[in-house]
């Protein structure tokens, strides 16, 4: 029965609540101006439209949930005020309380399905080879040991091991690696990752329900359920507020025998300004950060952010731009210089679709290199590219390509290349007619403002941490360049989530900022999750509480500073509200305030709270 009543009053959503408040407000204005001229107090509109839902909520809380909330005291004040004929006071209290509830509802997003996009990543069918015959089979019917063929551009349906072929796999969805990974026979591949080049056959090691992507889905679901929400402050103190108010009202009636004083106590004790103290400050803060390109998806996210002591950064796409760029070109022969190499590699790579090839082509084009026609261009999956230019056969690729053709690399160049690789660079070797002429070093470039942003975050007394799937040397190098001393490397999605869990288990409130699917678990588990909006995946955005719409991490210090200032404003609002309430109670006990004046007094307190919160709209971090 209670569930059906609750559904009846919840039907319609925010638009209905706004309409009811407008009508109730007009009723109160007419009531104040007409003084019951029509023998019908229009304050009844507010009592019925705003008051009845509060009374119903209080009854449901008491009898079904066995819980005392702020609505209980408001319901008592409403009934008592109506009983003695103080209709305006009853309507005004109901109106203010519903206004506070609406503001809270506007700042808190409804539950969303942040699993849908993860589910879409998993192919629902696969090419299964049985008895030398290939057939399209539903993913749920694939068994361990089956042979599956994956063509270029397809998403890998299940976890397995390559038994035939070579390819290039984009594993960003699971590991966050900025560059695709070469895979050959004997290497493991994972569901939800993308096969970019080359067809291959794999032996299934894990079925659909036990695959990597399904495990991630279950972890995100578990993290979502376990994330606690902030309870409304007035409800946290509701039991004591109700007890004090009722005891004060009863004692006053016993000693004075004036029921109007008791009703006035109940009216002024209603936590209207307490209810408004938090949501008004949050709404003003949200209005502020919206102008800085941030979107708040969870209403209490700023409250949680204010208490954060650490902020964990993903690397790729967060501290870096998420795409490879040429950082160095090294020549082995005297008759070769950078301009000549740019001309050759740019001519060949302009036909390549590989991310590294596109980066090399962009670099050469930016330096106005001359591009010639290439003959016999070939993509060599898992190795590189080949082509003939002016009668010379060129090879561009990794060390495996050079090994395949028996090309020797000078020891000096190997050492130089090794130094670049230790810093996290990827090396593309260049050969002409089977002679090594040099290499190109590529790396994911750090955002221009990353170091300054980290410094300003430290100034906010928040410690930055780097969580990355890269190797140790690359992670440490990024840490040095950005000013982050605490680095965790070779992190899988579960590793990032476990780090967040361990920190929170030690009562360390921690924020996570990332952009990829592999960050979703940590984003959902952290005290606050912040996602990159432009470069970030849909999964990361859905898992986050706050989104950097334009990927401008330089706004993070402002966001952190604003959240802390917002909490100071909330504390001021709450202190003022409590002092005003107790002063009003004393005046009510002594008979100086009647219910209507008492309602107006704490209504004025609510206005002051709103005005104080509004200063957050133009706050700037100095």
Cβ-based neighbours of 495, under 8 Å, separated by 6 or more: 467, 488
CA distance 257 to 243: 20
Q: Are strands 463-467 and 486-488 parallel, antiparallel or unpaired?
A: parallel
Helices (H) and strands (E) in the chain, counts: 25, 22
Compute the distance between CA of residue 87 and CA of residue 72 in angstroms, rounded to an integer: 18
Query: Tokens at residue 566, please?
Result: 């917002």
Cα(331)–Cα(117) distance, rounded to whole angstroms? 46
Find out whether 81 and 27 touch, Cβ atoms under 8 Å: no
The Cα-based distances of 415 to 412, 427, 437 in angstroms read 5, 12, 15
Cα–Cα dist 87/82, whole Å: 5
List the catalytic residues. 314
CA gap 510, 489 in Å, rounded:
18
Query: What's the distance, CA 386 to chain centroid?
Result: 43
Asked if 122 contacts 213 with a C-beta cutoff of 8 angstroms, the reply is: yes
Distance CA 155, CA 415 (A): 37
| β-strand partners of 378 | 386
CA distance 325 to 520: 26
Question: Which helix or strand (DSSP H or E) is residue 395 part of?
Answer: strand 392-397
* Angstrom distance (rounded) from CA 88 to CA 598: 11
Give φ, ψ of 483 to 5 degrees.
Answer: 90, 20
Cα 40 to Cα 51, 81, 90, 310, 347, distances in angstroms? 17, 16, 15, 59, 87
Asked if residue 91 lies in contact with residue 31, where contact means CB atoms within 8 angstroms, the answer is yes
Burial of 422 (0-12, 13-18, 19+ CB in 10 A): middle
Element (H, E) at 163: strand 159-164
Hey, how many other C-beta atoms are within 10 angstroms of the C-beta on 93?
31
Tokens linked to 150: 């994956």
Distant-in-sequence, close-in-space partners of 230: CB < 8 Å, separation ≥ 6: 300, 303, 304
């Amino acid at each position: 029965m209670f569930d059906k009543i609750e559904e009846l009053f919840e039907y319609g959503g925010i638009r209905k609540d706004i309409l009811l408040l407008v009508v109730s407000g007009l009723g109160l204005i007419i009531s104040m101006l007409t003084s019951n001229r029509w023998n019908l107090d229009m304050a009844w509109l507010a009592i019925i439209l705003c008051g009845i839902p509060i009374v119903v909520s209080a009854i449901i809380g008491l009898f079904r949930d066995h819980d005392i909330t702020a609505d209980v005291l408001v319901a008592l004040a409403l009934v008592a005020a109506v009983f003695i004929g103080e209709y305006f006071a009853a309507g005004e209290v109901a109106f203010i309380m519903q206004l506070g509830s609406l503001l809270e509802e506007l700042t808190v997003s409804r539950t969303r399905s942040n699993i849908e996009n993860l589910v879409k990543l998993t192919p629902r069918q696969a090419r299964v080879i049985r008895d030398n015959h290939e057939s399209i089979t539903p993913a749920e019917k694939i068994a361990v040991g089956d042979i599956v063929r994956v063509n270029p551009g397809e998403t890998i349906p299940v976890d397995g091991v390559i038994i035939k072929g070579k390819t290039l796999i984009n594993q960003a969805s699971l590991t966050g690696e900025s560059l695709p990974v070469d895979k050959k026979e004997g290497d493991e591949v994972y569901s939800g990752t993308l096969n970019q080049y080359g067809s291959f056959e794999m032996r299934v090691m894990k079925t659909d329900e036990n695959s990597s992507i399904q495990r991630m889905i279950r972890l995100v679901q578990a993290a979502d359920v376990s994330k606690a929400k902030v309870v409304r402050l007035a409800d946290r103190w509701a039991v004591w507020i109700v007890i004090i108010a009722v005891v004060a009202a009863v004692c006053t009636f016993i000693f004075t025998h004036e029921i109007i004083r008791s009703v006035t106590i109940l009216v002024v004790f209603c936590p209207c300004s307490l209810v408004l103290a938090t949501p008004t400050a949050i709404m003003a803060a949200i209005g502020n950060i919206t102008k800085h390109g941030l979107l708040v998806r969870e209403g209490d996210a700023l409250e949680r952010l204010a208490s954060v002591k650490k902020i964990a950064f993903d690397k790729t796409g967060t501290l870096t731009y998420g795409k490879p760029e040429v950082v160095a070109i090294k020549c082995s022969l005297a008759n070769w210089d950078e301009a000549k190499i740019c001309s050759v590699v740019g001519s060949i790579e302009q036909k390549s679709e590989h991310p590294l090839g596109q980066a090399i082509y962009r670099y050469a084009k930016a330096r106005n290199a001359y591009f010639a026609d290439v003959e016999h261009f070939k993509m060599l999956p898992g190795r590189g590219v080949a082509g003939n230019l002016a009668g010379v056969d060129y090879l561009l690729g990794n060390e495996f390509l050079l090994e395949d053709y028996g090309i020797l690399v000078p020891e000096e160049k190997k050492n130089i290349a090794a130094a670049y690789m230790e810093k996290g660079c990827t090396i593309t070797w260049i050969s002409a007619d089977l002679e090594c002429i040099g290499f190109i070093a590529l790396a994911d470039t750090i955002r221009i403002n990353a170091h300054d942003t980290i410094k300003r975050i430290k100034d906010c007394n928040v410690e930055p941490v780097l969580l990355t799937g890269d190797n140790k040397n690359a992670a440490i190098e990024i840490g040095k360049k950005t000013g982050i001393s605490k680095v965790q490397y070779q992190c899988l999605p579960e590793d990032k989530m476990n780090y967040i869990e361990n920190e929170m288990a030690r009562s360390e409130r921690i924020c996570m900022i990332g952009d990829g699917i592999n960050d979703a678990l940590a984003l959902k588990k952290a005290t606050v999750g912040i996602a990159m909006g432009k470069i970030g995946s849909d999964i990361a955005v859905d898992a986050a509480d706050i989104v950097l719409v334009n990927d401008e991490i330089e706004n993070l210090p402002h966001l952190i500073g604003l959240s802390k200032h917002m909490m100071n404003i909330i504390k001021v609002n709450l202190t003022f509200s409590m002092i005003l309430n107790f002063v009003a109670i004393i005046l009510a006990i002594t008979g100086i305030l009647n219910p209507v004046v008492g309602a107006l007094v704490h209504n004025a307190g609510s206005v002051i709270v709103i005005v104080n919160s509004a200063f957050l709209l133009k706050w700037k971090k100095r």
